[in-house]
């Protein structure tokens, strides 16, 4: 059965899309630690991040780098933090979280409650900051 993230990529489940190319997809985490918290996934379904092919991890990281730059521009922060957990959803993903302090990366923190309108505005703001190749 397809993972929930594959169903998001397929458009069967809605998401607030931030960026996409042929192989990767970036969208807002539905339980964000901070405004701009984004997930980057490969469209190819692989559970464990470190089971991805070497070249695939490298390309995914370059894709995430562009998304992180756009997040930082859209939501000024000290740095964009990156984390790989994958304990909840068995589809490899990178979390990108704008950080004002180290505490912003604590996944035990309470999550933000945002309205659909707020989610849409955040995704649009990040998307508008993406450099066009």
Nearest approach, Cβ of 133 to ligand 5GP (angstroms)? 25
109 burial via Cβ count (<10 Å: 0-12, 13-18, 19+): exposed
Site for ligand 5GP contains 69 (CB under 6 A) = no
Of the two residues 46 and 89, which places its CB atom closer to ligand 5GP in the complex?
89
Nearest approach, Cβ of 28 to ligand 5GP (angstroms)? 6
Residues 6 or more apart whose Cβ sits within 8 Å of residue 76 = none
- The encoded tokens of residue 93 equal 């993903």
- Which residue in the set 24, 27, 63, 75 belongs to the binding site for ligand 5GP (CB under 6 A)? 27
Site for ligand 5GP contains 15 (CB under 6 A) = yes
- CA distance linking residue 5 with residue 22, whole number of Å: 15
Segment near ligand 5GP (CB under 6 A); pick from 17-25, 45-53, 82-90, 124-132: 82-90
Helix H or strand E encompassing 20: strand 17-20
> How far are the Cα atoms of 72, 110, 133 from residue 87, in angstroms, in the given order?
26, 18, 34
Residues 6 or more apart whose Cβ sits within 8 Å of residue 39 = 5, 26, 27, 28, 29, 93, 94, 95, 96
Catalytic (active site) residue 93: yes
Segment near ligand 5GP (CB under 6 A); pick from 70-78, 80-88, 96-104, 121-129: 80-88
- Which residue in the set 18, 26, 29, 92 belongs to the binding site for ligand 5GP (CB under 6 A)? 29
Residues labelled catalytic: 93
User: Residues in the site for ligand 5GP, rule: CB under 6 A?
Assistant: 4, 13, 15, 27-31, 39, 85-89
């Amino acid at each position: 059965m397809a993972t929930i993230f594959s169903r998001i990529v397929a458009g069967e489940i809605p998401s607030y899309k931030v960026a996409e190319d042929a192989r990767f997809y970036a969208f807002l985490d539905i339980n964000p630690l901070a405004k701009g918290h984004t997930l980057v996934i490969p469209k190819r379904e692989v559970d464990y991040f470190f089971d991805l092919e070497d070249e695939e991890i490298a390309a995914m990281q370059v894709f995430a780098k562009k998304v992180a730059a756009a997040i930082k521009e859209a939501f000024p922060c000290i740095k964009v933090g990156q984390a790989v957990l994958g304990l909840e959803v068995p589809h490899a993903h990178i979390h990108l979280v704008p950080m004002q302090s180290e505490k912003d990366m604590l996944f035990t923190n309470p999550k933000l409650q945002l309205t659909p309108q707020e989610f849409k505005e955040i995704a649009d703001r990040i998307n508008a900051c993406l450099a066009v190749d």
